[in-house]
Amino acid sequence: MLATLKPYTTFLVCCAVAAALGVSFGTEYNWLVAGCCLVILVAGLPHGAFDLYILADLFEGRSFFWAIVGYLALIILTVLLWWLAPQLFLIGFLSYSAFHFGDSDWPADSVVNRLGWGSAIVTLPCLLAPDQVTALFTIVLNTPSMPLITDVLGFIAILATLSSCIEFASRKINTCTLILLSFYSTVCFFAGAIVAFTCYFAFLHGPHHLQRWRLKLPNKGNLQIYLVSFGVLATILLLGVFTVNGEHTQTKDLANAIDATVVRYTFVALAALTVPHMVYLFVADHLSHKEI
């Protein structure tokens, strides 16, 4: 068992520390939201930027050029969908994210296990920290509070967890999965949704995804990855600064303006970059017949 959990040591330690800090000091700090969002971006951008190498491995010449054009087009379409139909955007993005997390974290497992894991990652915060998640959705969508979405996702979390337990009882899922979900759930309950997802995304999903693709494409360097990541991060921060200035003028409350802007831009940036990332990995799986 210990050998099975060893690759996830960093995630488990971070979860334990986050839960302990949540119990000891609470989670109502302005810097906590901004800090978590920054960690998510810093951790997520490099594993997304590695898509350049994946596309270069799959396409050549004009095909590679059009693959990049399609990638950028999906980013623009994602932002437009958020702008024009925010509720549809949220539901579609969360649904596809659940599929991606399960498919990427446990590619060798059954479809039931992959969907159960991905759904649990997305929906457990709605069950265990519903007030915070509802507030986050309100900020991201820039609409009045809609707790019904959180309630529905919380119900799905119960179904996903039961599915994982049933699979475990029938010996179709390993103990490691349930332990990881238990730690994730603990952080959701004691430290909140943002902290829990930060632990998962920065210390489990991102590193393991990047490591797996480095094994597939071992001769690729880091320079392009970090240059692209730095450029995207700088762009997001600049947009955030301009928006904070505008909101501060209206609200006269800089702390609230920063919190709302950081959350909104982090979520939309992740969505805009993650949608083409998920789509192209799915295409890559079918074109190359490689395990993603």
Query: Is pLDDT larger for residue 5 or for residue 218?
Result: 5
Reply yes or no on whether the pLDDT at 252 is more than 50: no
Residue 1 has what pLDDT?
Answer: 59
- The structural domain count of the chain equals 1
- 144, 138 Cβ separation under 8 angstroms: yes
Tokens of 95: 């649904």
State the first-to-last Cα distance of the chain, in angstroms, to the nearest integer.
25
On whether the CB atoms of residues 116 and 164 are closer than 8 A, the answer is: yes
pLDDT at 240: 53
Amino acid letter for position 291: E
The arithmetic mean of pLDDT across residues 186-210, rounded, is 90
Tell whether the model's pLDDT for residue 152 goes beyond 50.
yes
C-alpha dihedral, 94 to 99 to 105 to 107, nearest 10°: -170
**DSSP assigned state of 202:** I
Model confidence pLDDT, tens digit, residues 72-97? 899 899 989 888 988 888 898 999 89
Q: How confident is the model at residue 281 (pLDDT cuts 50, 70, 90)?
A: confident
Q: What is the pLDDT at residue 195? A: 93
Across the range 25-53, mean pLDDT stands at 74
By percentage, how much of the chain surpasses pLDDT 90? 24
Residue 254 above 50 pLDDT? no
The gap from C-alpha 285 to its chain's centroid, in whole angstroms, comes to: 20
Lowest mean pLDDT among 14-28, 189-203, 261-275: 261-275
* Dihedral sign computed on CA atoms, order 287, 88, 39, 11: negative
- 154 pLDDT more than 70: yes
* pLDDT (mean) for 106-133: 90
Burial of 275 by CB count in 10 Å (0-12 exposed, 13-18 middle, 19+ buried)?
buried
Q: pTM higher than 0.85 for the full model? A: no
How high is the pLDDT of residue 266? 74
Q: How confident is the model at residue 60 (pLDDT cuts 50, 70, 90)?
A: confident
pLDDT at 242 over 80: no
> pLDDT confidence of 171, banded at 50, 70, 90?
low
Domain that holds residue 80: 2-288
Q: Which of 190, 177, 146, 171 has its CA nearest to residue 27?
A: 190
Q: Quote the pLDDT of residue 139.
A: 84
Q: pLDDT averaged over the chain? A: 79
Burial 10-47 (b: 16+ CB within 10 A, else e): ebbebbeebbebbeeeebeeeebbbebbbbbbebbbbb
Residue whose tokens read 């920065």: 202
What would you report as the CA-atom Rg of the chain, rounded to the nearest whole angstrom?
Answer: 19
Q: What is the pLDDT of residue 166?
A: 79
Residue 251 pLDDT > 70, yes or no?
no
For 114-251, list the strands marked E by DSSP. none
- 254 vs 28, more confident: 28
Task: Report pLDDT for 16.
Answer: 95
> 48 in helix, strand or coil?
helix
